[in-house]
Amino acid sequence: MNIYTSKSIKHKAQEIIKKNQTNNVSIICNNLSILRLESNLGNVNGFLQYFEEEDEYIIHINENASYRNFVIAHELGHYFLHKKLNSFKLSNCSVLLEEKLEQQANIFASELLVTDKMILDANINFNEYTLNEIASHFRVPSFVIKHKIEQLKFSSSRVFNIYDNKLIAQF
């Protein structure tokens, strides 16, 4: 089993974007011949299914999911990071391991959907907007923007702090 850091997951997402020349999850799925099916999955937002006989992957998406592209990107995270793992066996072994795999898929989805370049190109004055407003701009859950801000703290000269749900950039 591979050990992934946030940095290695970010590099994997960048590699996928470069290879596909896009971060559009529908195009990436099409390029990989991964089918997407929407249905009522109850409390589950989505899951990745593998059919060994056909060597085919399907991403199931809850028709009621709030952030459809995030769900697809999250499942692509499992595809690129964990597809050789049997998640059903793993979920019976360790709750902590299962949480770690979910966290890694969330990081992958965050890095795939909102690249550093997208944040810089948006030229957002972080002092004026809340996390939710910035997330709305990028059409992602607010925890994606929070992750990106945390990640950018370590890779730029800017220091971001969050006060009253506002991002304060310091130089």
* pLDDT (tens place) for every residue of the chain, 171 residues total: 567 898 999 999 999 999 999 999 999 999 999 999 999 999 999 999 999 899 899 999 999 998 999 999 999 999 999 987 765 555 556 677 788 899 999 999 999 999 988 988 888 777 788 889 999 999 999 999 988 888 776 555 444 555 555 555 543
75 assigned to active site: yes
CATH of 1-113, picked from 2.60.40.10, 1.10.10.2910, 3.90.950.20, 1.10.10.10, is 1.10.10.2910
> 53, 75, 102, 128: which is the annotated catalytic residue?
75
Domain ranges across the chain: 1-113, 114-171
Alpha helical stretches, state H, the chain: 6-20, 25-32, 68-82, 87-93, 95-113, 116-122, 131-138, 142-155
| Cβ count within 10 A of residue 147 | 20
